[in-house]
Amino acid sequence: MKKILNLVLLFYGCLAFSQTEPCGTDVFAKTIAKEFPEAQARFDATDQQIQEYIQQGRGRKSTQANITIPVIVYVVHNGVPEGTGTNISDNQVQSQISALNDHFSLSGITFCLATRRGVNSTSIPMPSGATQTIPGIIHVNNATSSNPMLTQASLDALISATASSNLMPSRYMRIYVVQSIDGASSGILGFAPFPNSPLFDGVLMRYDAFGDAATCGGCNLLASNNQGKVLTHEVGHYLSLYHTFQGGCSGVNDGTMDSNGVLLCNKNGDKVCDTPQGAMIFGCPVSVTVCPNDVAQDIHNFMQYTNDACRTQFSAGQQERMLAALAVPRVMLGSTDNLIYTGICGYQNLISATYTPSTYQTCQNSAVTFTPLLISNPNTTYLWNFGDGTTSSASTAVSHTFASSANSPYTVTLTLTSGGSSAVYSSQIYVSPCNTPIPGGLANWYLSSANGLAFGSGVPVVDPVFPSANKTYSSSSVANTSSGSVLFYTNGVKVWRANHSLVNASSGSYVAMKGHSGGQNAVVAVPIPNTTDYYIFTKGSNITTVPGEAANPLDGLRYTRINVSGTTLTMPVANMNVPVTPLSGMSGYLLGNNNAMYGGQAVCASQKCGGYWIFTTLRKSSTELALVVFSLTSAGLTYSSSITTPVTQPNFNNNETIKVSPDGNRLVYQNNNYSPLVLYDFDKFTGVLSNPKILFAAPPQYVTQTFAFSPDSKLLYTADLFKDLYQFNLNSPDPGATKRIVAHSVASRGMKLGPDGKIYFSDPLKADLFSFSVIHNPNNLVTEANPNACAYSPQGPQFPNTVFGSGSLYTAMPNIVEPMGLNSISPVVNGCSSYKFFPNVAQGSCYTSFIWNFGDPSSGAANTSTANTPTHNFTAPGTYTITLNSSTNVFIAQTTVTITPMAMPVIDGSATACTTIDNHTYNSVNLLDGQTAQWSITGGGGTIIGQSNQSAVEIAWTSLPGTISLTVTNSAGCTSTVTKQIGQLCCPCFDDITYGVYPMEFGSALSFEIYLDNEVDCDLMEGGTVIWNYGDGTPPTNVTSHQFPATATYTVTATVTLNGCTTTISFPVLAGGPGSGPGGPGGGTGNSKTNTHLQHPKPIARPIVKPNPSHGLFNIHVEKFSGKFNLQVFDLNGRLVFEKDEENFETEKTIDLSHLQSGVYVLSASGQNMTFAQKIIKN
């Protein structure tokens, strides 16, 4: 119970007048913990996004903000006349909105009633029988929904009774004013979840705490809560604020930082550093101090439990956090587009070029309609550019046909100009040739919220005809005919025909299958070999999401037979829910109801010769979970093999996922709460799993809930829940080491490879919760240079807007059996010069034994093999032809592999150090894609600082000379080792060397200067030299001023010698040509007169960068400097990896480079009359 209480206290805000019952924790906690086990990870990820937004310096202060939030208020009453009882008056509602604006006046946030739904609408839709005199205030007579409980069913019913399906929570802050919340005696006055709530998104308010007695005139409000501040408190939660007493004293601002230099008070407690921590406070006491080392609690804070007269303010940190919430999870809410869409006050003065295409994917020679948000806006010119050489000036919806897929995707841009204002919007349209037939068995999908997707045309088309009652949350399977029509679909409990009628109906009711609708691939429909019938395999679970379900994990693995005759489907009760009991060869499995074996929720299937493989997990003890393989043939179901999973925790979560690669040779498994993401090899001729490899570590390091293979089975995509989208290269001896980030801030609860060769997934972090994201080229390996080589796009199929509740579009993907492919060979890298080969045999051939020839006669007897999945080590670099024959020497397939020798790596960086003054060296290697590094010390003495497996390494030496060893491993498992000698050289003057670039007083030449460490005796005038190479072809010189020949960026190098030591420093300079004035970072103006008198302004102060090294956060401090400032970071190859312009730099600025790999970089900063560069180290 403690875990449940913490979960809800952490994530949901509620307010009560009773000191003993501040909110409906217990009831709502059970709902969250049972129905949405990922809730904590979801909210943690949102918190992380908000914190990163603020820490990266993108957060806005309240004085800079001007954000309007569209509001709809539903007064849900019990039938009394307006202005009495629960049917509060419009005047009372308006008094509350006015009070809300007063309370947020210092935050830069205002609230305005919405007046419409879309630019073509003139009103807010409302349910039948409702009334709406003032736009945005809707009175609904529904006594049941006026007394909602904090349960999924009750909150879903409230939303269904009030909000139109098009009034999405991403566009409107929806406020529900009701008689009671979670029972008349609960004492709860308000309730609001944080952004990204999986159950309810909006604000729930009790009618007698809604309004401001000072302006509403005779309102029946509670004496202690009559100033409208309960709503202010709840809107704080809605915008990601916690109670100020959240976490007790854990968020005290005592100056403690984490390893990245982030104050812990930004991560603990209420995650705001300027709000004193403590306990909940009621009434209005004079002063309360609870936490040691903290100041008195802020009894006046809106996020406390004090009464309305006592609460008067948000802190500056709270204001910044709310603005960050409006910039990240609730970004659509206050956008210009949304303000126009919702028709808030003053929307007529806004301009936007946003448009909506009828589809983001189309076939060539098919028309796409583009509808602008602003249609025929007065005094506005429109310019369309379709990216294929054609344009249009249409001010209304315009249709365009893309004649070819050759240059896909096409970037379509609309530019609007009105008076002195303009707006530009672009999106990409992906055009396919659509000349490859879609396999009929894969042509239709059944998705969450009773949505459908049809691929028969070659591109996905939304099927809007699924009845809303036929919904699922996560479980889905579809049986399609060979011609591409739906035969039936199921959510694991019910089965529906193509005409959406219920198959398992009986005497006006229905007999439920003993599955559940709450888990991914928890149900799968499999054809019964040599018949027209199907088995539907289900797993029992403790997760239920559809009202009326009675799922039980002890129901275990079962199957139900669907009798199919043409399009006639029957489902005899006698053939339903048949338990799978231990079969021949099985022992030690735990048994549940009806002796059914039970385990996690997942079950899936793949086709084999003469039948299908069935995969699931079954318990062998409270701490052992086995991944089990069954064979389904015309003879029935038999046991094939099993392998123990990494799940060892007792009472592990049922929420798990199993997927098989398209070629049937690999399988991926994860129990979402307790195991790592594991890749297995699968012998599809014997049914044996082997060779487990970990891709992701076990939670809490990573939490994945879905994944998808590329069409060629060589790559795997997954998302660390609510964080990043990743790609793994499975064609590697260590695929876990190949993880690449494709996109940041991506979440996926449902991901699937489509029959068109693209991967589709829903992303609950998107503002538009009703569209899929797409990976258009999933066979393409991403690289550091091209992280989106796979063509990920957040814009995909758009679904009808649905009521946001438990059936939102972000979970269910159909569990469909993939057909066997053509005869082929799948080579997988097994090590250096070594491959493992998988045979792929088409249905109809069904060979089960083979003869391999690897085209490598130098390997002797090893050149041939009769194994099903052999491994071969090639003898030398070159291209080899691999031939696969049947055991009777019938040719099956052929392929080639190329063995490439590995190039010798080169260690860059330090060659000397000084054990008595500066004993650190910094070295790096340029790693190619797929390569990893391992550094070690093999001579001398010292310690590696930080990680030893990055592209750069820092070493603190204790004895010199020394030797650094570097071993580089490529994606094929080949290694190459090199060493570098580090000598003893004590040059303290070069410990801290920077440069300056200044404009001359006259003319356009620039002056250059070197600065050495002032803390030691370092005077370049006493025996030192500086030789300048200005990078424009002129000879090196000791002259410190230079006129560049043309406007360009030049790399300037200074070679500095002093006291027997020599070092070099290089930096970029943007310079103007003769007569153009200095173009360097220092700026200034010049003329055509040549000047040889070397007078120039000096820097105001020498910049200081701390900490250095750092894990990512670097503070740049320039004493007494203010103004425009440019920051650039270069890697050691001269590539620009970070840039930021500060228009109003004031003394210091913190930059976040935590996204960069560990290594040595050059930080270049420039401002008026000042330029400097310094090496920085990112650990």
Q: What are the tens digits of pLDDT across the range 881-896?
A: 999 999 999 999 999 9
- Predicted confidence (pLDDT) at residue 293 exceeds the cutoff of 70: no
Predicted local confidence at residue 614, as pLDDT: 98
Both structure tokens of 1044? 């560049």
Predicted local confidence at residue 2, as pLDDT: 31
Domain range 992-1178, CATH class:
mainly beta
- Predicted confidence (pLDDT) at residue 1075 exceeds the cutoff of 50: no
Q: Sign (positive/negative) of CA torsion 70, 76, 81, 83? A: negative
Look-up of token digits 């009326």: 548
Contact (CB, 8 A) for 652 and 698: no
Both structure tokens of 623? 């701490």
Q: State the average pLDDT over residues 1044-1066.
A: 86
Q: State the average pLDDT over residues 858-870.
A: 97
Q: Catalytic residues, which ones?
A: 234
CATH of 824-899, one of 2.60.40.10, 3.30.420.40, 1.20.810.10, 2.20.28.270: 2.60.40.10
CATH topology of domain 907-984: Immunoglobulin-like (2.60.40)
Lowest-confidence pick of 117-121, 595-599, 635-639, 649-653: 649-653
Predicted local confidence at residue 1049, as pLDDT: 87
pTM (whole model) above 0.85: no
- All CATH 3.40.390.10 domain ranges in the chain, comma separated: 2-241+316-336
Lowest-confidence pick of 341-345, 629-633, 634-638: 341-345
Predicted local confidence at residue 34, as pLDDT: 61
Average pLDDT of the chain, as a whole number = 84
- Predicted confidence (pLDDT) at residue 801 exceeds the cutoff of 70: no
Q: State the average pLDDT over residues 237-264.
A: 77
Percent pLDDT > 70 in the chain is 85
Query: Who's near 543: CB < 8 A, 6+ residues apart?
Result: 34, 35, 37, 516, 518, 519, 551, 601, 654, 655
Instruction: Compute the distance between CA of residue 634 and CA of residue 616 in angstroms, rounded to an integer.
Output: 20
Percent pLDDT > 90 in the chain is 47
Q: State the average pLDDT over residues 540-556.
A: 66
Nearest to 339 by CA among 115, 603, 633: 115
> For 94, left (φ over 0), alpha (ψ -120 to 50), or beta?
alpha
Superfamily assignment of 2-241+316-336 in CATH? Collagenase (Catalytic Domain) (3.40.390.10)
Lowest-confidence pick of 126-130, 242-246, 1115-1119: 1115-1119
Lowest-confidence pick of 147-151, 410-414, 998-1002: 998-1002
Query: Who's near 128: CB < 8 A, 6+ residues apart?
Result: none
Both structure tokens of 1155? 């996204």
Instruction: Compute the distance between CA of residue 761 and CA of residue 447 in angstroms, rounded to an integer.
Output: 11
Instruction: Compute the distance between CA of residue 592 and CA of residue 1146 in angstroms, rounded to an integer.
Output: 68
Distance from the Cα of residue 178 to its chain's centroid: 36
Predicted local confidence at residue 38, as pLDDT: 62
Both structure tokens of 985? 């050289």
Q: Which of 302-306, 438-442, 523-527 is the most confident on average?
A: 523-527
Q: State the average pLDDT over residues 416-440.
A: 91
Q: Provide the terminal-to-terminal Cα distance of the chain, rounded to the nearest Å.
A: 41
- All CATH 2.60.40.10 domain ranges in the chain, comma separated: 351-432, 824-899, 907-984
Q: Does domain 351-432 have CATH number 2.60.40.10?
A: yes
Question: Model confidence at 51, in pLDDT bands (50, 70, 90)?
Answer: confident
Q: How many CB atoms lie within 10 A of CB 1033?
A: 8
- Predicted confidence (pLDDT) at residue 30 exceeds the cutoff of 70: no
Q: Sign (positive/negative) of CA torsion 96, 102, 107, 109? A: positive
Domain made up of 440-793: CATH architecture: 7 Propeller (2.130)
What does residue 190 show for φ and ψ, rounded to 5 degrees? -155, 160
**Pairwise pLDDT comparison (455 vs 21), residue with the higher score:** 455
- Predicted confidence (pLDDT) at residue 40 exceeds the cutoff of 80: no
What single letter denotes the amino acid at residue 649? Q
